[in-house]
Amino acid sequence: MMKEHLMVQEQVKTVWQHMVGVMCLNLTYRKQVKEVLPKLFKRYPNPKAFLRGRTKTQENMLKPLGMWNVRTKRIRKMSEQFLTWDYKEASDLHGIGKYGSDSYKIFYKNEIPDDVQDKELKKYIQRL
């Protein structure tokens, strides 16, 4: 597996964790995310656990990524929606943009979107 291209995919076990991972990658470095995700998922392995968690604790865990208050709010909102989501379009979830939608299609629906823009996803697709 291409570790440099699949960093988030190597650290997640569920679709919800994938969504949290791609949200954490927004406007930050992969190295920081790689350090934060295992701790976050150990404490909050699923959306219900995250929603039961204390916001302040979550903000502290996400602090190394920057914008911790915004990230926490977005992940909480996405987690609420995730509980009733139909698994069709990832972009229907709060805070999930083009990268999150494309990566969900690639890794969970086995689809290759026509207009992938992310350079790491493009590299991954080319190696398939």
Of 29-38, 42-51, 92-101, the one with minimum mean pLDDT is 29-38
Domain count of the chain?
Answer: 1
Q: What is the pLDDT of residue 7?
A: 57
Q: What is the pTM of this model?
A: 0.91
Check residue 27 and report its DSSP letter.
Answer: T
* Domain membership flag for residue 8: no
Q: What's the half-sphere exposure (Cβ side, CA atoms, 13 Å) at 79?
A: 19
* Domain membership flag for residue 107: yes
Per-residue 3-state assignment (H helix, E strand, C coil) for 31-100: HHHHHHHHHHHHHCCCHHHHHHCCHHHHHHHHHHHCCHHHHHHHHHHHHHHHCCCCCCCHHHCCCCCHHH
* Domain membership flag for residue 5: no
* Domain membership flag for residue 76: yes
Establish whether 118 is a catalytic residue: yes
* Domain membership flag for residue 42: yes
Token pair of 107 as six digits: 């890794």
Given the residues 92, 102, 114, 118, select the one marked as catalytic.
118
* Domain membership flag for residue 30: yes
* Domain membership flag for residue 88: yes
68-120 pLDDT tens trace: 999 999 999 999 999 999 999 999 999 999 999 999 999 999 999 999 999 98
Which of 9 and 68 is assigned the larger pLDDT? 68
* Domain membership flag for residue 28: yes
**CATH code assigned at 102:** 1.10.340.30
Q: Using pLDDT thresholds of 50, 70 and 90, give the confidence band for residue 31.
A: confident
**Structural domain harbouring 81:** 15-126
